[in-house]
């Protein structure tokens, strides 16, 4: 399943980016917004933005958006890192 979002031409013309960058930038902004609201996970958000983990993490940091990383996430990562 996929979702198509229609953006009216007059809005597209108002986006102050080269036409070739509009799609990527809109997807990135959507990914950031969904992550910041807790609607989408970090991994899925970075996929939507078509960025790797480091790039997306830096982007969030530059925007002042905190990572949603709980104590349970840390414990899970430690267990995984230890090979258990």
Q: Report d(CA 17, CA 9) in Å as an integer.
A: 14
* 44 inside domain: yes
* 39 inside domain: yes
Q: What is the CA radius of gyration of the chain?
A: 16
Count up the domains in the chain and report the number: 1
Q: Between 45 and 69, where is the model more confident?
A: 45
* pLDDT (tens digit per residue) in 55-70: 999 999 999 999 988 8
Mean pLDDT of the chain: 93
* 23 inside domain: yes
* 11 inside domain: no
Assign 35 a pLDDT band (cuts: 50, 70, 90): very high
Q: Report d(CA 27, CA 18) in Å as an integer.
A: 15
* 1 inside domain: no
Range(s) of the domain holding residue 25: 18-81
* 47 inside domain: yes
* 43 inside domain: yes
In the chain, the largest separation of any two C-alpha atoms, in whole Å, equals 55
* 40 inside domain: yes
């Amino acid at each position: 399943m996929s979702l198509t979002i229609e953006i009216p031409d007059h809005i597209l013309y108002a986006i102050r980016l080269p036409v070739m960058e509009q799609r990527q930038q809109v997807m990135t902004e959507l990914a950031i917004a969904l992550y910041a609201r807790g609607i989408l996970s970090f991994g899925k958000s970075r996929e939507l933005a078509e960025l790797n983990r480091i790039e997306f993490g830096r982007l969030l940091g530059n925007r002042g958006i905190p990572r949603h990383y709980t104590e349970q996430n840390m414990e899970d990562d430690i267990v995984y890192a230890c090979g258990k």
